[in-house]
Structures are given as structure tokens and as C-alpha cells.
């Protein structure tokens, strides 16, 4: 019978929610922070079976059964303990063979000595920071206040070669354990001499999601070519499995709505200090599938916000492909694009929290980002290039392992490709502008915005969305809006209210005015709800919340399209009246409308 290491078992538990495991056998319903269902151990009509992911256990009140994911399979499926480990290891994406203890003389290590040394090292680094005026000035220059560097337990590794080694030796720490943790290194040139791995660096303690100290990261404060270094993998630390600051990100709420994934430790600290506390970072490597799985345990759709330079954008593209191959129903990712050459820390040093929130709110869904990235790669103005683009998109979709999700992606991208075939798309130079231009062209060419009365109403709603979300347009184009006819009577009433408001406030700056709230206060709740339908918001959000130049071009294009289609409709109706009545009045009306139409064109 195989014997598995405690480390391997702990890794399985860290990757799987209890609700994921139990939910395969019991129908669960979420209630607050817990899940409830009918007991799998006893017949009952009223649910008494509970699952708590935070505390990592299940409990059955009717049968008194209680335990973790392994004991659930042992009790419910009659598995042996090793069988339950093998079953769950595969579900967690681990190879069961890798966790088997093969050495008959193996003694399980509880790592108490290793953890004790890590705590001592952390105390040493934090005391060094308090003594160093230079590092405190550095933090002050980076606008990191004392409360924050104490919260994160930041430290300082001095410039001398063996300060930590001498400290550990002085307190009687096991030097072999310190070597295995990567805190010190053995000299290759002198026997029995050791040196510190971290020297002249700002130190970041790295903790697991349970706040156990497992490693360190160090940022150079001099002209070192290597900006960041991290602890190497050790018996208590696996770099590709953990996320910096996950413990504090879930401190207030174990289930997070917006988990932000950034590239660097200083980015995390800057965001945390600016009240974006649910921010994490990989540990000096590209984002891994294990880190993504860990993020999904606390947030169904984390926001990936990498640096705005070319390297950051490339990293975001790799993360998107990684996410695509791992997504499943309800689990995805969003992508937030920073202005060129900004990282999150730089952006917050130069802009307000509100500006940062605006950028976060413009995050693209995974499908939007994938589509955008592929469109950006090369010019697709010719049929051959369009065909190449379609081939690339289909190849990317094939990487989605979950069949249900893959089917929906196929449908969504096929719909977009059909729009693409009807449109003249050209490559743009930046992601953020490109995606908005693309959606605008979809609006102009979409069959949903053509001439039927139903589609006319949709078009009218989108025009009003542009105005409500961007009141500056009202100041500039109030006369143009007043000349447009609205077929929907409720929307026409709303337009009258908006124009009246614009006339009264023509001398005011409306750029940052909350027009939507104002209209709701005027009792127009039903009309606003009629416009803000979820399907319309999903389709056109990236346009109406874009840069004002993009919004303005889209708005004017829509006004022009709406006006042209209404004129065509008026001319068509006049011709029908002439055919039906064959009288002088109908004939004169037809000539009048036709003449007006020709004059405008």
C-alpha cells in the first residue's frame, strides 16, 4: 500500500475546494459562506449536510459525520485512504506517483525547524530595516508609509556578505536547514565559509494563504543588474504554486469579487496602500497554471494587470492563452491594459484612485482580449489575411479543454468572424484604441441596427447610452440630438428630459456629471432600466466607456446612420402611399421627401 508525504497531501488540499469534491456526489446550494444539501449518509427531506470551504470540512448534522475531502471519499465511496489520495491528486492535476514515499527509511519531516529559522531570519531583516535610515528614505521616496511596511513586515538585507549567517550561527540555528531554505550559500572557494544569499536588498516576506512564512523576495536598492531575486524552491516553498499577498487579499473576505494580479511586489504594496487590498503577484516568474488555479479558488474572474510596456503586454498575452486552456464554466479572467510604459505603482504615483478605478472598470473579458490580441498581430485588410486570422482564432479555441466552454467560444467567435467578413478592418497601433474602433464598426455594420422598427429602438437606446455615460456629448451635440426622431415614445420622452436639462445647464462643465443618477432622481427609473439591458451593456460597454474621442466618433456615426435609415424609411413609405393612392397629394409628398433626401446627400 503506497505511503504519501504530508507535503503532497497538503498540496492536494490547497488546490481543491471541499465543495468541488463533495459537489460531484451531493447537490449543494450556497447559503452565505457555506453550502447545504441532503445528507449522503442518511435519508432525509430537510437538508442537514453542510460544507465550509474556508474551514475545509464537511459536517452532517443528521449522522454526525465530519471530516475533510479525504474522509468524505472514505466514508461515502468506501475508498481506502491511499485510494482517496490518488483519486483527489488526479482531480487536482497532480501525478500521484510524485507524492509516494519510496525510501523505506524515510522519516516524515514536520518542518518545525525550517519554519523557526524563517521566522528568525524575518526578525533579523525587519530589525535591520528599522536601523537603516537609507532604506527608510527609499521607502519614503516610493511613498510607502510606515503602517504599510510594518503590515507587510518589510525588511532589509545589509550589504555585508554574511550578516544573516553570523546571526543564525549566534542563536544556534541549524546551518544545514538554513542552506536548504536558500538563506545562505556555501563558499566554493573557502572551506567552512558561508555567505548570505540576499545582500543589500529590500526584503519581502512571502507567505502562503494561511500566513505561514515560506520564502523571501529581495529588491535591489543599488545598481544591481538583477532587480529582483527570490528564494529558490525548498521543502516548504514551491515558487510556481504560490501568490504574493494572497493571505492579506483574503483577510477580510475569503471570496473576492476583484482579485487583481500584477507583476511586482511593489505594485502589490502600492495598490494595497491605495485601498486595492485584493492584489497579488506571481513570485518572479510568469503566471503559472497552478497560480491561476489558486486565484480561482478565491475569485471566479481575476483581473490580470501587467505593465503597460511591450514585455508586460506579451506577458498578458501568455497569461490569456494559459487561462483559455484552463477555463471552465463560471471561471475566467479579465485583462486591464495600462497606458504605455506605466506599471501599476507608477500609475498610482501619478494619478488618483478614481482614475485607477476607471481603468479597472474598462477591463476586457478573456474572449474580448484574445480577439483583440489576434486582430492586432497583423493587417487583415485582404481576404487571405482574414482567412489567416480565422485559422489562428480556431486554433486558439481548440486549446480550451472544457467542451461546454469551447462550444460557446466557437459560437461567439464565429459570430464575430461573420461580422468581420462584412467589414473593412484595418490594423491599429494600440490595444485600447483598436478594440474600441472594432466595436464601433460592428455597431455600424451589425444587422441588428438596420431598418426594422425593433432595430431602430435598439439603435436609439445605444445613442442614449452614449449620452448618459458621457454627458460631455450633450454639451457639444444638443442641437443634433434635438433634430433626431425617436420611434419609441418612452425614449422620446427621455430625450426631451435630457435636452431640457442640457439647455438649462449649457454653461456648465458636464464632463464628470452623473447624468444617470440625475435622471433616476427625476423618476425615470423605468426608462433607464429599459435602456440598460444586460445584453446591450455586454455588447457595447467597451465603446460607451472608452476615451472621449472614440466615444464621440461612435456617437456621431450612430446619429448619421439613424438619420439615414429614417430618411430611407420615410421615402419608402411615401412611395408606397403613391402606389396605393395614385393622387396628387401623395405624388407631391413623394417628390418633396425625395428632393430633401437628395439635397442632404
CA distances from 320 to 161, 316, 372, 397, 406 (A): 41, 6, 11, 12, 15
446: left (phi over 0), alpha (psi -120 to 50) or beta: beta
- Report the candidate in 357, 601, 355, 561 with the shortest Cα–Cα distance to residue 466: 561
Cell numbers given for 152? 507587510
pLDDT at 282 over 90: yes
Burial 420-446 (b: 16+ CB within 10 A, else e): beeeebeebeebbebbbbbbbbbbeeb
pLDDT at 246 over 90: yes
Cell numbers given for 460? 436609439
DSSP state of 222: S
Quote the pLDDT of residue 428. Answer: 42
Higher pLDDT among residues 2 and 327, named by residue: 327
pLDDT at 272 over 60: yes
Taken in order 334, 339, 343, 346, the sign of the CA dihedral is negative
66 - beta bridge partners?
A: 59
**Which of 225-229, 314-318, 415-419, 591-595 is predicted with the least confidence, judged by mean pLDDT?**
591-595
Distance CA 28, CA 105 (A): 44
Distance CA 263, CA 282 (A): 6
Taken in order 51, 52, 56, 59, the sign of the CA dihedral is negative
Quote the pLDDT of residue 454. Answer: 42
Q: Residue with C-alpha cell 527608510? A: 136
Directed axis angle between helix 81-91 and helix 6-15, to 10°? 50
pLDDT in tens, 6-50: 888 988 888 888 998 999 999 999 887 789 999 999 999 999 999
pLDDT in tens, 523-567: 888 788 888 876 666 666 666 777 777 788 888 888 877 776 665
Distance CA 70, CA 64 (A): 17
Quote the pLDDT of residue 572. Answer: 53
pTM for the whole structure: 0.65
Quote the pLDDT of residue 251. Answer: 87
- Report the candidate in 473, 433, 439 with the shortest Cα–Cα distance to residue 555: 473
Q: Name, in order, each residue with C-beta under 8 angstroms of 281's C-beta and a sequence gap of 6 or more.
A: 243, 244, 245, 261, 262, 263, 264, 265, 267, 268
Amino acid at each position: 500500500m503506497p505511503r504519501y508525504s504530508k507535503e503532497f497531501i497538503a498540496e492536494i488540499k490547497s488546490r481543491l475546494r471541499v465543495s468541488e469534491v463533495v459537489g460531484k456526489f451531493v447537490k449543494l446550494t450556497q447559503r452565505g459562506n457555506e453550502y447545504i444539501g441532503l445528507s449522503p449518509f442518511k435519508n432525509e427531506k430537510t437538508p442537514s449536510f453542510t460544507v465550509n470551504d474556508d474551514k475545509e470540512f464537511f459536517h452532517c448534522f443528521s449522522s454526525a459525520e465530519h471530516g475533510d475531502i479525504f474522509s468524505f471519499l472514505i466514508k461515502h465511496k468506501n475508498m481506502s485512504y491511499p485510494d482517496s489520495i490518488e483519486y483527489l491528486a488526479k482531480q487536482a492535476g497532480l501525478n500521484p506517483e510524485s507524492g509516494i514515499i519510496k525510501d523505506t527509511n524515510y522519516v516524515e519531516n514536520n518542518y518545525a525547524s525550517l519554519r523557526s529559522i524563517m521566522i528568525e531570519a524575518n526578525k533579523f531583516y525587519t530589525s535591520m530595516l528599522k536601523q537603516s535610515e537609507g532604506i527608510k528614505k527609499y521607502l519614503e521616496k516610493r511613498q510607502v508609509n510606515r503602517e504599510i511596511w510594518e503590515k507587510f513586515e518589510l525588511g532589509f538585507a545589509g550589504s555585508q556578505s554574511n550578516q544573516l549567517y553570523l546571526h543564525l550561527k549566534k542563536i544556534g540555528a541549524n546551518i544545514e536547514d538554513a542552506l536548504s531554505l536558500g538563506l545562505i550559500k556555501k563558499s566554493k572557494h573557502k572551506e567552512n565559509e558561508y555567505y548570505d544569499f540576499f545582500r543589500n536588498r529590500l526584503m519581502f516576506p512571502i507567505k502562503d494563504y494561511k500566513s505561514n512564512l515560506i520564502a523571501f523576495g529581495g529588491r535591489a536598492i543599488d545598481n544591481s543588474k538583477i532587480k529582483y531575486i527570490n528564494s529558490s524552491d525548498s521543502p516548504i516553498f514551491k515558487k510556481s504554486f504560490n501568490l504574493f499577498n494572497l493571505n492579506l487579499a483574503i483577510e477580510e473576505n475569503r471570496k473576492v469579487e476583484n482579485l487583481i494580479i500584477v507583476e511586482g511586489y511593489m505594485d502589490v504594496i502600492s495598490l494595497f496602500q491605495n485601498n486595492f487590498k485584493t492584489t497579488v503577484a506571481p513570485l518572479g516568474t510568469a503566471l503559472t497554471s497552478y497560480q491561476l488555479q489558486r486565484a480561482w479558488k478565491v475569485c471566479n474572474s481575476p483581473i490580470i494587470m501587467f505593465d503597460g510596456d511591450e514585455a508586460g503586454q506579451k506577458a498578458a498575452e501568455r497569461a490569456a492563452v494559459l487561462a483559455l486552456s484552463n477555463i471552465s464554466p463560471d471561471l475566467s479572467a479579465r485583462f486591464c491594459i495600462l497606458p504605455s510604459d506605466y506599471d501599476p505603482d507608477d500609475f498610482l504615483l501619478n494619478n488618483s484612485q478614481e482614475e485607477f478605478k476607471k481603468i479597472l472598470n474598462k477591463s476586457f473579458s478573456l474572449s474580448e482580449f484574445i480577439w483583440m490580441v489576434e486582430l492586432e498581430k497583423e493587417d487583415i485588410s485582404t481576404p487571405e489575411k482574414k482567412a489567416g486570422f480565422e485559422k489562428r482564432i480556431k486554433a486558439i479555441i481548440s486549446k480550451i479543454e472544457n467542451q461546454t466552454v469551447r462550444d460557446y467560444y466557437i459560437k461567439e467567435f464565429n459570430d464575430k468572424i461573420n461580422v468581420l467578413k462584412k467589414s473593412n478592418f484595418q490594423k491599429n497601433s494600440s490595444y485600447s484604441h483598436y478594440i474600441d474602433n472594432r466595436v464601433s464598426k460592428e455597431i455600424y455594420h451589425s444587422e441588428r441596427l438596420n431598418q426594422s422598427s425593433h432595430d431602430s429602438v435598439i439603435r436609439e437606446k445605444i445613442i442614449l447610452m452614449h449620452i448618459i455615460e458621457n454627458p460631455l456629448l450633450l454639451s457639444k451635440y444638443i442641437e443634433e440630438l434635438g433634430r433626431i426622431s425617436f420611434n419609441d415614445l418612452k425614449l422620446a420622452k427621455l430625450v426631451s428630459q435630457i435636452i431640457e436639462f442640457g439647455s438649462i445647464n449649457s454653461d456648465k462643465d458636464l464632463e464628470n456629471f452623473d447624468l444617470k443618477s440625475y435622471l433616476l432622481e427625476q423618476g425615470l427609473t423605468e426608462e433607464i432600466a429599459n435602456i440598460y439591458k444586460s445584453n446591450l451593456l455586454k455588447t457595447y460597454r467597451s465603446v460607451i466607456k472608452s476615451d472621449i474621442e472614440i466615444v464621440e466618433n461612435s456617437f456621431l456615426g450612430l446619429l448619421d446612420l439613424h438619420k439615414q435609415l429614417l430618411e430611407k424609411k420615410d421615402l419608402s413609405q411615401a412611395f408606397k402611399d403613391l402606389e396605393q393612392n395614385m393622387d396628387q397629394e401623395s405624388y407631391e409628398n413623394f417628390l418633396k421627401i425625395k428632393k430633401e433626401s437628395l439635397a442632404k446627400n
